[in-house]
Structure 1
């Protein structure tokens, strides 16, 4: 039971931290901010075209919306995976440094 509670807490921590990092990046990182702005622009253009062609291709608008949802999910999951790997890397690097330090002294 404790393991389940700790896993849930860790999952929520990772989700909240990744969300916070991306929010900060949206303000502080010009390259990221530019990429987000460009992605939003492309999506807006796709939505406009899909609405114009909705009568001829009713599935197009739905596909664009599904694509947006899928790419948002994919990028969120990618950010979480990278964050988790960063935590793992941090732990293994600390262990390696500790081992190195023990051998030196």
Structure 2
């Protein structure tokens, strides 16, 4: 039960932290902001074209919207995966540094 509570808390932490990071990046990171602006512009153009072709291809607008939702979901999941791996990496690196320091204490070099 305790592990379940910790898992839920960690899940929520990851979601909140990823959201915070992306919000900050949207303001502070020029490259990220530019890519997001370009992606929004491309999506707007696709929607415009789909609406113009709606009589000929009524499924096109729905397809564009589904694609946008799928890419947004994929991007969000990829971001979460990368963040989780970063947390794992930091724990592993911290342990490796602690192990190294412990060895240095037990086996000092001759300087």
Q: TM-score range by the shorter chain?
A: over 0.9
Distance 2:97 2:8 in 1: 30
| Counterpart residue number, 1:37 | 37
Paired residue secondary structure (2:25): helix
Runs of 4+ in structure 1 over 4 Å off: none
Paired residue secondary structure (1:57): coil
The Cα offsets for residues 2-37 of structure 1, whole Å up to 9 and x where unpaired, read as 211111111011000000000000000000000000
More helix by share: 1
Paired residue secondary structure (2:56): coil
CA RMSD in angstroms, aligned pairs only = 0.5
| Counterpart residue number, 2:102 | 102
Query: Which ranges in structure 1 are unaligned for 5 or more consecutive residues?
Result: none
Larger radius of gyration: 2
Query: Which ranges in structure 2 are unaligned for 5 or more consecutive residues?
Result: 106-111
Aligned residue pairs: how many? 105
Distance 1:2 1:40 in 2: 43
Distance 1:99 1:4 in 2: 30
The Cα offsets for residues 69-99 of structure 1, whole Å up to 9 and x where unpaired, read as 0000000001000000000000000010001
| Counterpart residue number, 1:49 | 49
Paired residue secondary structure (1:38): helix
